[in-house]
Amino acid sequence: MHYIFEALIVGTYTAILYKLLSPLFDDEFIVFLFVLGFTKHMLGYFLSIHDLYCEYGRACSHLSNQNKANASTKKMIIESSMEAVVFVIFGYVLSFFTKDRLLLAFALGFFLHIIAELIGIHKKFCQRCIQTKNKLSFEALMFHAR
């Protein structure tokens, strides 16, 4: 999958989350951006959206056909919080260019996905997934050898 196509999907996914979460946050824009970023990352993990980067994504094309690795809850909360902070920063800046919050949510998902692809965040994510999978496979092999 090409990363522009992925970014369109991620932007749409973010806009859908915006529509679902926005009734809960009428006036708290910064808190809403944090919750939106956190939810996007955490829910993306549970819906296996992140697997697309490792299985089909351009960043990991040389590492194809890798299965989902189990990440610790603590690590997922940290990663989701980091994405939430990035959403707050970029969302605040983008809010000066558009007052349409649905468009803002789409733009956040779209542009942050492209930025993550270009600076190598997705590639690092895939490498971590594979390392975790290999470690789990080794541990399973050792367990069965007993």
For the beta carbon of residue 60, count every other beta carbon within 10 angstroms: 20
Please give the pLDDT value at position 44.
Answer: 86
Please give the pLDDT value at position 51.
Answer: 67
Spatial CA neighbour of 109 closest among 6, 30, 7: 7
Give pTM, 2 decimals: 0.75
Please give the pLDDT value at position 90.
Answer: 97
**Which pLDDT tens digit goes with each residue over 8-56?**
999 999 999 999 999 998 788 999 999 999 999 999 888 877 766 665 5
Please give the pLDDT value at position 140.
Answer: 44
Please give the pLDDT value at position 18.
Answer: 96
The answer to whether 110 and 10 are in contact (CB under 8 A) is yes
Q: Which residue has the higher pLDDT, 69 or 36?
A: 36
Please give the pLDDT value at position 138.
Answer: 42
**Which pLDDT tens digit goes with each residue over 83-141?**
999 999 999 999 999 999 999 999 999 999 999 888 988 777 666 655 555 544 444 44
What CA–CA distance (Å, rounded) separates 3 from 139? Answer: 34
Can you say whether the dihedral through the CA atoms of 4, 94, 124, 36 is positive or negative? negative
Angle among Cα 61, 65, 70 to the nearest 5 degrees reads: 110
Alpha helices of the chain — where are they, by DSSP H?
A: 3-21, 29-46, 51-55, 73-94, 101-119, 121-145
pLDDT bracket for residue 68 (50, 70, 90): very low
